[in-house]
Amino acid sequence: MVRHAIASEDKRARRKIILAAAGTLFTSGDGSLPSAAQIASEAGLAKGTVYLYFQTKEEIFLALLLEGLLTLLNEIEFAFQNASGTRDAKAAAFLTTYVSYVDRCPELLRLDALCHGVLEKNLDPAKLREFRLAFVTRLAQTGIVVEHALRLSGGHGATLLMRTFALTRGLWQSFQSHEEQTASKTDPTLAPLCTNFHKELTEALIEYWRGALAIRRSAK
Protein backbone atom coordinates (compact mmCIF):
# COMPACT_ATOMS: atom_id res chain seq x y z
CA MET A 1 0.00 0.00 0.00
CA VAL A 2 2.83 2.38 0.91
CA ARG A 3 4.74 1.48 -2.26
CA HIS A 4 1.66 2.15 -4.36
CA ALA A 5 1.22 5.56 -2.73
CA ILE A 6 4.87 6.45 -3.33
CA ALA A 7 4.60 5.32 -6.96
CA SER A 8 1.50 7.45 -7.44
CA GLU A 9 3.25 10.46 -5.93
CA ASP A 10 6.23 9.91 -8.23
CA LYS A 11 3.95 9.79 -11.26
CA ARG A 12 2.18 13.00 -10.27
CA ALA A 13 5.53 14.70 -9.67
CA ARG A 14 6.89 13.64 -13.05
CA ARG A 15 3.72 14.68 -14.81
CA LYS A 16 4.03 18.06 -13.11
CA ILE A 17 7.63 18.37 -14.31
CA ILE A 18 6.55 17.66 -17.90
CA LEU A 19 3.77 20.25 -17.76
CA ALA A 20 6.09 22.85 -16.22
CA ALA A 21 8.65 22.27 -18.98
CA ALA A 22 5.97 22.56 -21.66
CA GLY A 23 4.69 25.79 -20.08
CA THR A 24 8.16 27.31 -19.95
CA LEU A 25 8.82 26.55 -23.61
CA PHE A 26 5.42 27.76 -24.75
CA THR A 27 5.59 31.01 -22.77
CA SER A 28 9.02 31.90 -24.13
CA GLY A 29 8.31 30.70 -27.67
CA ASP A 30 6.72 32.14 -30.79
CA GLY A 31 3.21 30.81 -30.16
CA SER A 32 3.65 27.42 -31.81
CA LEU A 33 3.63 24.17 -29.86
CA PRO A 34 7.07 22.85 -28.87
CA SER A 35 7.74 19.23 -29.83
CA ALA A 36 7.70 16.33 -27.40
CA ALA A 37 11.48 16.06 -27.85
CA GLN A 38 11.94 19.71 -26.84
CA ILE A 39 9.71 19.24 -23.82
CA ALA A 40 11.59 16.12 -22.78
CA SER A 41 14.91 17.95 -23.06
CA GLU A 42 13.63 20.89 -21.02
CA ALA A 43 12.31 18.49 -18.37
CA GLY A 44 15.53 16.48 -18.28
CA LEU A 45 13.72 13.32 -19.34
CA ALA A 46 13.93 10.86 -22.20
CA LYS A 47 11.42 11.44 -24.99
CA GLY A 48 9.99 7.98 -24.39
CA THR A 49 9.28 8.91 -20.77
CA VAL A 50 7.09 11.81 -21.88
CA TYR A 51 4.99 9.41 -23.98
CA LEU A 52 4.37 7.26 -20.91
CA TYR A 53 2.29 10.15 -19.54
CA PHE A 54 0.91 11.77 -22.69
CA GLN A 55 0.21 10.15 -26.06
CA THR A 56 0.79 13.36 -28.04
CA LYS A 57 2.16 16.86 -27.50
CA GLU A 58 -1.40 18.16 -27.97
CA GLU A 59 -2.44 16.21 -24.87
CA ILE A 60 0.30 17.93 -22.92
CA PHE A 61 -0.92 21.39 -23.84
CA LEU A 62 -4.58 20.49 -23.32
CA ALA A 63 -3.62 19.41 -19.80
CA LEU A 64 -1.74 22.67 -19.36
CA LEU A 65 -4.79 24.63 -20.50
CA LEU A 66 -7.05 22.74 -18.11
CA GLU A 67 -4.61 23.37 -15.27
CA GLY A 68 -4.70 27.10 -15.99
CA LEU A 69 -8.49 27.21 -16.21
CA LEU A 70 -8.95 25.29 -12.97
CA THR A 71 -6.51 27.61 -11.20
CA LEU A 72 -8.48 30.59 -12.49
CA LEU A 73 -11.72 29.08 -11.21
CA ASN A 74 -10.09 28.52 -7.83
CA GLU A 75 -9.14 32.20 -7.69
CA ILE A 76 -12.65 33.23 -8.70
CA GLU A 77 -14.13 31.15 -5.89
CA PHE A 78 -11.70 32.62 -3.38
CA ALA A 79 -12.56 36.16 -4.51
CA PHE A 80 -16.30 35.64 -4.07
CA GLN A 81 -15.99 33.73 -0.81
CA ASN A 82 -13.88 36.48 0.75
CA ALA A 83 -15.60 39.55 -0.70
CA SER A 84 -18.00 41.53 1.45
CA GLY A 85 -20.50 44.31 0.98
CA THR A 86 -23.04 44.77 -1.78
CA ARG A 87 -23.40 42.58 -4.84
CA ASP A 88 -21.69 45.27 -6.89
CA ALA A 89 -18.78 45.36 -4.43
CA LYS A 90 -18.40 41.58 -4.58
CA ALA A 91 -18.51 41.62 -8.38
CA ALA A 92 -15.86 44.37 -8.41
CA ALA A 93 -13.58 42.28 -6.16
CA PHE A 94 -14.02 39.34 -8.49
CA LEU A 95 -13.23 41.41 -11.59
CA THR A 96 -10.04 42.74 -10.03
CA THR A 97 -8.92 39.16 -9.32
CA TYR A 98 -9.96 37.93 -12.75
CA VAL A 99 -8.22 40.62 -14.81
CA SER A 100 -5.12 40.33 -12.64
CA TYR A 101 -4.93 36.58 -13.34
CA VAL A 102 -5.34 37.09 -17.08
CA ASP A 103 -2.55 39.67 -16.98
CA ARG A 104 -0.22 37.37 -15.02
CA CYS A 105 -0.89 34.36 -17.23
CA PRO A 106 -1.06 35.53 -20.87
CA GLU A 107 -0.22 32.00 -22.03
CA LEU A 108 -3.71 30.92 -20.93
CA LEU A 109 -5.38 32.91 -23.70
CA ARG A 110 -2.74 31.83 -26.21
CA LEU A 111 -3.41 28.19 -25.37
CA ASP A 112 -7.15 28.78 -25.46
CA ALA A 113 -6.85 30.21 -28.98
CA LEU A 114 -4.93 27.11 -30.09
CA CYS A 115 -7.41 24.77 -28.45
CA HIS A 116 -10.18 25.42 -30.96
CA GLY A 117 -7.89 24.95 -33.93
CA VAL A 118 -4.63 23.11 -33.47
CA LEU A 119 -5.34 21.08 -30.34
CA GLU A 120 -8.86 19.84 -31.06
CA LYS A 121 -7.98 18.66 -34.56
CA ASN A 122 -5.12 16.49 -33.30
CA LEU A 123 -6.66 14.99 -30.18
CA ASP A 124 -8.33 11.70 -29.45
CA PRO A 125 -12.09 12.50 -29.07
CA ALA A 126 -12.16 10.70 -25.72
CA LYS A 127 -9.37 12.94 -24.38
CA LEU A 128 -11.15 16.05 -25.64
CA ARG A 129 -14.40 14.99 -23.97
CA GLU A 130 -12.50 14.30 -20.75
CA PHE A 131 -11.10 17.83 -20.85
CA ARG A 132 -14.50 19.40 -21.50
CA LEU A 133 -16.18 17.36 -18.78
CA ALA A 134 -13.53 18.31 -16.21
CA PHE A 135 -13.92 21.99 -17.07
CA VAL A 136 -17.72 21.98 -17.12
CA THR A 137 -17.90 20.12 -13.81
CA ARG A 138 -15.59 22.59 -12.12
CA LEU A 139 -17.35 25.55 -13.76
CA ALA A 140 -20.68 24.39 -12.32
CA GLN A 141 -19.16 24.20 -8.84
CA THR A 142 -17.72 27.72 -9.13
CA GLY A 143 -21.03 28.93 -10.52
CA ILE A 144 -22.75 27.83 -7.32
CA VAL A 145 -20.27 29.89 -5.29
CA VAL A 146 -21.06 32.92 -7.47
CA GLU A 147 -24.81 32.37 -7.04
CA HIS A 148 -24.48 32.11 -3.27
CA ALA A 149 -22.38 35.29 -3.03
CA LEU A 150 -24.63 37.35 -5.31
CA ARG A 151 -27.95 35.73 -4.38
CA LEU A 152 -28.69 34.50 -7.89
CA SER A 153 -30.94 31.66 -8.97
CA GLY A 154 -29.51 28.31 -10.05
CA GLY A 155 -27.51 28.22 -13.28
CA HIS A 156 -26.93 31.95 -13.54
CA GLY A 157 -23.47 31.82 -11.96
CA ALA A 158 -22.03 29.48 -14.56
CA THR A 159 -23.71 31.48 -17.34
CA LEU A 160 -22.13 34.72 -16.13
CA LEU A 161 -18.71 33.09 -16.01
CA MET A 162 -19.01 31.52 -19.47
CA ARG A 163 -20.00 34.86 -20.95
CA THR A 164 -17.09 36.47 -19.14
CA PHE A 165 -14.70 33.93 -20.68
CA ALA A 166 -16.24 34.45 -24.12
CA LEU A 167 -15.92 38.23 -23.86
CA THR A 168 -12.32 37.90 -22.73
CA ARG A 169 -11.49 35.55 -25.61
CA GLY A 170 -13.11 37.83 -28.16
CA LEU A 171 -11.35 40.98 -26.95
CA TRP A 172 -7.99 39.24 -26.79
CA GLN A 173 -8.30 37.87 -30.32
CA SER A 174 -9.35 41.31 -31.57
CA PHE A 175 -6.53 43.28 -29.97
CA GLN A 176 -3.59 40.91 -29.70
CA SER A 177 -2.21 41.32 -33.25
CA HIS A 178 1.30 42.77 -32.97
CA GLU A 179 1.23 43.88 -36.60
CA GLU A 180 -1.95 45.89 -36.12
CA GLN A 181 -0.65 47.50 -32.93
CA THR A 182 2.58 48.52 -34.68
CA ALA A 183 0.78 49.94 -37.71
CA SER A 184 -1.62 51.88 -35.49
CA LYS A 185 1.21 53.72 -33.77
CA THR A 186 2.56 55.06 -37.08
CA ASP A 187 -0.75 55.77 -38.81
CA PRO A 188 -3.22 57.97 -36.83
CA THR A 189 -6.17 56.76 -38.92
CA LEU A 190 -5.62 53.28 -37.48
CA ALA A 191 -5.63 54.53 -33.87
CA PRO A 192 -8.74 52.50 -32.88
CA LEU A 193 -6.65 49.37 -33.39
CA CYS A 194 -4.02 50.55 -30.89
CA THR A 195 -5.62 49.51 -27.63
CA ASN A 196 -4.64 48.52 -24.14
CA PHE A 197 -6.05 45.03 -23.64
CA HIS A 198 -6.05 45.31 -19.85
CA LYS A 199 -8.01 48.57 -20.00
CA GLU A 200 -10.47 47.32 -22.62
CA LEU A 201 -11.08 44.05 -20.77
CA THR A 202 -11.62 45.80 -17.44
CA GLU A 203 -14.07 48.33 -18.84
CA ALA A 204 -15.97 45.77 -20.91
CA LEU A 205 -16.38 43.38 -17.99
CA ILE A 206 -17.46 46.13 -15.61
CA GLU A 207 -20.14 47.19 -18.09
CA TYR A 208 -21.24 43.60 -18.67
CA TRP A 209 -21.47 42.62 -15.00
CA ARG A 210 -23.15 45.90 -14.04
CA GLY A 211 -25.80 45.34 -16.69
CA ALA A 212 -26.19 41.63 -15.96
CA LEU A 213 -26.70 42.19 -12.24
CA ALA A 214 -29.17 45.01 -12.92
CA ILE A 215 -31.22 42.66 -15.08
CA ARG A 216 -31.14 39.99 -12.36
CA ARG A 217 -32.41 42.57 -9.83
CA SER A 218 -35.27 43.73 -12.04
CA ALA A 219 -36.27 40.13 -12.77
CA LYS A 220 -36.95 39.45 -9.08
Domains defined along the chain, listed by start? 1-54 (1.10.10), 58-219 (1.10.357.10)
Q: Alpha-carbon distance 108 to 73, whole Å?
A: 13
**Where would I find the beta strands (DSSP E) of 99-142?**
none
- What average pLDDT does the segment 106-128 reach? 87
pLDDT, position 30: 84
Q: What angle do CA 74, 78, 83 make, to 5 degrees?
A: 155
Task: Tell me the per-residue pLDDT of 126-144, one tens digit each, with 9 for 90 and over.
Answer: 999 999 999 999 999 999 9
Q: pLDDT band at residue 29, thresholds of 50, 70 and 90?
A: confident
Q: pLDDT band at residue 5, thresholds of 50, 70 and 90?
A: very low
Q: What is the pTM of this model?
A: 0.85
- The residue among 128, 127, 156 whose CA lies nearest residue 142 is 156
